Amino acid sequence: MENQTYIHPSAVVESGARIGTGVQIGPFCYVGADATIEDRVELVSHVSVLGATTIGAGTKVFPMATLGAAPQNAKHKGGRTTLIIGPNCTIREGVTMHTGTDTSHGETRVGANGNFLAYAHIAHDCVVGANVTFANGATLGGHCEIGNNVNIGGLTAVHQFVRVGDNAFIGGCSAVVGDIIPFAIAAGNRAKLRGLNIIGLKRSGLERAEIHLLRRCYRTLFDPARPVAENVEIAKAEFAFSAMAMKIVDFIDHRGKRQYTVPPLKSGASDSDAED
């Protein structure tokens, strides 16, 4: 049975769709003609796979998910664009992921082993890394770049074009309007940094000395006595020997001219009086 493909009689699979081995397509699913369903994918029921969408091997998709719908972008002219989903993802009820736009990258890409809980949304032209978790209702605007091992809390919205670095953790019900550095915790409306994701760093096997070094780098980069650009140059010289620290430094240094890096919450401030 493991290598046998099963398509429920009530499912619609258009001619031209590419279906791998061991695929299970449940009741009332729809698979479009330009879709690719790789080996051992399971579409539980009432799943819509539209457009030029590829679902990676071993992925399980739950009811009412819609994958590969046209982008919600008025600039899109209707050309062929793609959605690529990596292997071994879990895509829960009501999740939506859109294809790219033909006026931009033309592709939305999702990495392997992602866990997307109910009603999460990935908009057009996003690039999402591997081993991410999006809690219920987590939402990305278009053109976002999400690193590996990122956790985004429930009902959190990430503004278009925002970058989130590897191993970052964003708390629930947050509004993220700027870039989140790697290894950080961020939360709030508007989100501010709350320090480094120490628990996540420990779970990843990082040595205590390296964690202390990252803390020093964090304090240097966000020292309020100097502009961030000056702090970056100081950090480049002081932490050049540490690949982990330089990951944070380079993330800030390589931001676009219009990119905004989310700063730490000011000491003694609360979400209600944090600056927008």
**Could you confirm whether 159 is annotated as catalytic?**
no
Is 168 within 8 Å of 150 (Cβ atoms)? yes
Catalytic residue among 137, 142, 171, 188: 142
Please give the full DSSP string across 93-158, using - where no structure is assigned.
Answer: TT-EEE---TTTT-EEEE-TT-EE-TT-EE-TT-EE-SS-EE-TT-EE-TT-EE-TT-EE-TT-EE
Dihedral Cα 139, 111, 63, 119, nearest 10 deg: -10
CB-CB neighbours of 159 under 10 Å: 18
**Could you confirm whether 22 is annotated as catalytic?**
no
Q: Measured between alpha carbons, how far is 158 from 114 in angstroms, rounded to an integer?
A: 17
Catalytic residue among 125, 143, 165, 178: 125
CB-CB neighbours of 15 under 10 Å: 5
**Could you confirm whether 179 is annotated as catalytic?**
no
Catalytic residue among 46, 98, 124, 159: 124
Catalytic residues: 124-125, 142
